[in-house]
Amino acid sequence: MHTDVKEILFTSEQIKGRIQELGRQINADYRGKMLVLVGILNGVKPFLNDLLSTLNLPVSHDLIELSSYGQSTVSSGTVHVLKDVALDISGKDVLLVEDIVDTGLTLHTAIEHLRSRKTGSLKTCALLNKQTRRSVAITPDYYGFTIPDLFVVGYGLDYAENYRELPYIGVLKINK
């Protein structure tokens, strides 16, 4: 375990197992349809890749980037679109994929942004859900795990661009 990590919340095996379950649910819900997955950069990459590999639907994917926390563990309260989707998503069934939903501001901003592109159906999927921290009333349609109010790293999640490479999700020692 990394010396900056206090505790492992989910091992690589637990994460992969839960993503298989999410994939089965998404395959069933979108059977006979084409799906566009739109991932929110940067932390979503491992989750998006592993989720894609569980899907047996005609699927395409794209990425969107929103302003992040930078060097902080608390949200600044405003979110901007830094990189837009390149695919034409008008009229398409879109699943917005995020690594972790905390205050909900990022997901909310991304939803509003994609709606302005006149998507068909629009649902959301997050690996981690910090439900108690919400400032926007929003719950992802699909999510892997609910976690308490702790700052976590690994499996794509960073603190100041560090720890993304860890194969597990762990609690950072800076948490009180």
Q: Determine which residue in the list 39, 104, 144, 170 makes contact with ligand IMP, applying CB under 6 A.
A: 104
Q: Determine which residue in the list 38, 51, 127, 152 makes contact with ligand IMP, applying CB under 6 A.
A: 152
Q: Is 50 noted as a catalytic residue in this protein?
A: no
What is the three-state SS of the chain?
Answer: CCCCEEEEEECHHHHHHHHHHHHHHHHHHCCCCCEEEEEEECCCHHHHHHHHCCCCCCEEEEEEEECCCCCCCCCCCCCCEEECCCCCCCCCEEEEEEEEECCCHHHHHHHHHHHCCCCCCEEEEEEEECHHHCCCCCCCCEEEEECCCCCEEECCECECCECCCCCCEEEECCCC
Question: Does position 129 bind ligand IMP by CB under 6 A?
Answer: no
Q: What is the closest distance, in whole angstroms, from the C-beta atom of residue 54 to ligand IMP in the complex?
A: 21
Q: What is the closest distance, in whole angstroms, from the C-beta atom of residue 140 to ligand IMP in the complex?
A: 10
Query: Which of 50, 93, 102, 158 is the catalytic position?
Result: 102
Contact residues for ligand IMP (CB under 6 A)?
Answer: 40, 43, 68-69, 75, 98-107, 151-153, 157
